[in-house]
């Protein structure tokens, strides 16, 4: 039994968190009991000056891109060719992929991320190695073999039938499941997209892809897939627009596309730090939300330079201000990067300080006197410092300590 104590970041009203003093008892990897209203005098972790948060969940990131952060000044398609595809080619070496997955998983845990929806590369053995390694280090979530059969270097392309055959044999491990991961409609033929749709229906796995990130990408998609309709229509026509589909970005969508996403239940992973880095445009998240489209947040490393989901949440405020939308409130943003993101990627056993959930927990010791702020959760969000994170528990196991 482990005891953690401090100000607990617990569920408040719908889609919002609040702080309250309390104790969390962890046993068998789960939250065995929560006692609110008191601080434990001799805890294993925490104290009166600490905050206990659910682990953060990142719904869109690329494991092989962590060493490529910051290759600046390029439009998306040029950036992929110059910086990203060469980095992904290195995953042809499965040992290299396993070693990098290990480094990345440990880094994520050191930033407080315990849940992920992540892309590997088009190499089958590397994708399986990434699933195994991330699971062994305690992460929960989904990792996919990237499906791509056109418009990229030959070393990354796998013909549709071979790619689908390989991807369908991926095995889950621990708390990581495989995901159906067509990269985007630029690098996938219609045959591959349709096959991915069939695999998604058959396996029930999460689907992840990119949608409408830059104008140049949108134009190219129309050229490559003529006569089907909008960018979103293409995914829908191929069986890839489902309530279990996470679409990275969704910046340049029409009202009709947002209505279609809302009707079919597709989720947009808003990646504000990546959008700013690639100068892709300003994502009108409020428009998506008011159209009824579910949204979640992603770091999109390596386009996104920030590994921290707190920084991604703060960038979402900047993005909202940029498009003149209402400023999202901090209590809702803390909910989004924990419970909200967990729910959108189907991680129902984590993301919240509730009895019987997996003990994915963060021990945070802030150095600011946030207690006297009129809006403590906003003060914590804006003054966030990764050095505050003292420990990360993944499924009840200490996965990181400062
Ligand atoms: Zn991405």
Q: How far apart are the CA of 248 and the centre of ligand 1, in A?
A: 6
Q: Which of 326, 344, 362 corresponds to the end of one domain?
A: 344
Co-location of 159 and 140 in the same domain: yes
Taking CA atoms, 346 is separated from 72, 202, 207, 245, 381, in Å, by: 34, 17, 11, 10, 25
Give every CB contact of residue 246 below 8 A, 6+ residues apart in sequence. Answer: 59, 60, 117, 206, 207, 208, 209, 267, 269, 296, 344, 345
Q: Residue 391: give its domain's CATH number.
A: 2.30.40.10
* pLDDT 10s digits, 366-389: 999 999 999 999 999 999 999 999
Co-location of 236 and 371 in the same domain: no
Q: How far apart are the CA of 186 and the centre of ligand 1, in A?
A: 13
Q: How far apart are the CA of 271 and the centre of ligand 1, in A?
A: 8
Nearest to 268 by CA among 280, 251, 255, 290: 251
Q: Residue 177: give its domain's CATH number.
A: 3.20.20.140
Name beta bridge partners: 83: none
Q: How far apart are the CA of 275 and the centre of ligand 1, in A?
A: 10
Domain count, the chain: 2
Q: How far apart are the CA of 277 and the centre of ligand 1, in A?
A: 12
Average pLDDT, the chain: 97
Co-location of 124 and 189 in the same domain: yes
Q: How far apart are the CA of 4 and the centre of ligand 1, in A?
A: 35
* pLDDT 10s digits, 102-148: 999 999 999 999 999 999 999 999 999 999 999 999 999 999 999 99
Co-location of 134 and 181 in the same domain: yes
Co-location of 49 and 64 in the same domain: no
Q: How far apart are the CA of 167 and the centre of ligand 1, in A?
A: 19
Co-location of 272 and 376 in the same domain: no
Q: How far apart are the CA of 60 and the centre of ligand 1, in A?
A: 6
Domain that holds residue 7: 2-55+352-401
Give every CB contact of residue 294 below 8 A, 6+ residues apart in sequence. Answer: 265, 266, 267, 268, 344
Co-location of 238 and 365 in the same domain: no
Q: How far apart are the CA of 354 and the centre of ligand 1, in A?
A: 31
Q: How far apart are the CA of 43 and the centre of ligand 1, in A?
A: 40
Q: Tell the residue number behind the tokens 């428009």, with chain if given.
A: 287
Over pLDDT 70: what percentage of the chain? 100
Q: Which of 344, 360, 392 corresponds to the end of one domain?
A: 344
Q: How far apart are the CA of 386 and the centre of ligand 1, in A?
A: 23
Arithmetic mean of pLDDT, 64-74: 97
Nearest to 215 by CA among 76, 79, 61, 316: 76
What pLDDT does 373 receive? Answer: 96
* pLDDT 10s digits, 170-187: 999 999 999 999 999 999
Q: What is the DSSP letter of 192?
A: H
pLDDT at 62 over 90: yes
Q: Which of 296, 322, 344 corresponds to the end of one domain?
A: 344
Co-location of 240 and 336 in the same domain: yes
Name beta bridge partners: 359: none
Q: What is the DSSP letter of 325?
A: P
Pairing of strands 206-211, 2-11: unpaired
Co-location of 139 and 161 in the same domain: yes
Q: How far apart are the CA of 76 and the centre of ligand 1, in A?
A: 10
Q: How far apart are the CA of 85 and the centre of ligand 1, in A?
A: 13
What pLDDT does 13 receive? Answer: 86
* pLDDT 10s digits, 78-113: 999 999 999 999 999 999 999 999 999 999 999 999
Q: How far apart are the CA of 246 and the centre of ligand 1, in A?
A: 11
Co-location of 370 and 299 in the same domain: no
Co-location of 132 and 150 in the same domain: yes
Taking CA atoms, 259 is separated from 124, 147, 184, 325, 326, in Å, by: 35, 27, 20, 19, 21
Give residue 283's pLDDT band: very low, low, confident or very high (50, 70, 90): very high
Q: What does the alpha-carbon distance between residue 166 and residue 169 come to, in Å, rounded to a whole number?
A: 5
Give residue 337's pLDDT band: very low, low, confident or very high (50, 70, 90): very high
Q: How far apart are the CA of 20 and the centre of ligand 1, in A?
A: 36
Co-location of 152 and 262 in the same domain: yes
pLDDT at 164 over 90: yes
Q: What does the alpha-carbon distance between residue 85 and residue 100 come to, in Å, rounded to a whole number?
A: 16
Q: How far apart are the CA of 299 and the centre of ligand 1, in A?
A: 9
Q: How far apart are the CA of 65 and the centre of ligand 1, in A?
A: 10
* pLDDT 10s digits, 23-41: 999 999 999 999 999 999 9
Over pLDDT 90: what percentage of the chain? 100
């Amino acid at each position: 039994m482990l005891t953690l104590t401090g100000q607990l970041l617990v569920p408040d009203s719908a889609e919002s968190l609040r702080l309250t003093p309390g104790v969390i008892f962890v046993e068998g990897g789960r939250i065995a009991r929560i006692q609110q209203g008191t601080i434990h005098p001799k805890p294993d972790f925490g104290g009166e000056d600490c905050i206990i948060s659910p682990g953060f969940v990142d719904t869109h990131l690329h494991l092989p891109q962590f060493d490529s952060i910051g290759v600046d000044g390029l439009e998306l398609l040029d950036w992929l060719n110059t910086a990203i595809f060469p980095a992904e080619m290195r995953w042809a070496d499965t040992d290299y992929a396993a070693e990098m997955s290990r480094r990345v998983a440990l880094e994520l845990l050191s930033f407080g991320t315990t849940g992920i929806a992540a892309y590997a590369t088009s190499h089958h053995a590397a994708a399986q190695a990434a699933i195994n390694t991330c699971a062994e280090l305690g992460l929960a979530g989904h990792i996919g073999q990237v499906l791509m059969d056109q418009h990229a270097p030959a070393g990354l392309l796998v013909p549709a039938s071979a790619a689908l055959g390989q991807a369908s044999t991926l095995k889950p491990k621990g708390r990581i499941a495989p995901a159906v991961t067509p990269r985007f409609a630029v690098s996938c033929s219609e045959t591959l997209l349709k096959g991915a749709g069939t695999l998604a229906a058959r396996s029930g796995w999460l689907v992840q892809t990119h949608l409408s990130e830059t104008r140049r990408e949108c134009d190219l998609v129309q050229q490559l897939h003529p006569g089907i309709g909008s960018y979103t229509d293409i995914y829908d026509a191929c069986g890839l627009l489902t309530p279990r589909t996470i679409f990275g970005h969704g910046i340049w969508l029409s009202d009709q596309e947002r209505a279609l996403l809302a009707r079919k239940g597709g989720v947009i992973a808003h990646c504000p730090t990546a959008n700013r880095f690639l100068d892709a445009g300003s994502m009108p998240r409020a428009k998506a939300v008011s159209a009824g489209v579910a949204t979640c947040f992603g770091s999109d490393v390596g386009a996104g330079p920030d590994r921290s989901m707190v920084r991604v949440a703060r960038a979402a405020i900047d993005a909202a201000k940029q498009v003149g939308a209402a400023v999202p409130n901090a209590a809702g943003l803390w909910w989004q990067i924990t419970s909200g993101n967990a729910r959108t990627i189907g991680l129902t056993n984590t993301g919240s300080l509730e009895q019987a959930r997996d003990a994915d927990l963060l021990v945070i010791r802030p150095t600011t006197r946030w207690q006297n702020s009129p809006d403590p959760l906003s003060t914590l969000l804006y003054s966030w410092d990764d050095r505050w994170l003292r420990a990360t528990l993944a499924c009840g196991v200490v996965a990181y300590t400062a």
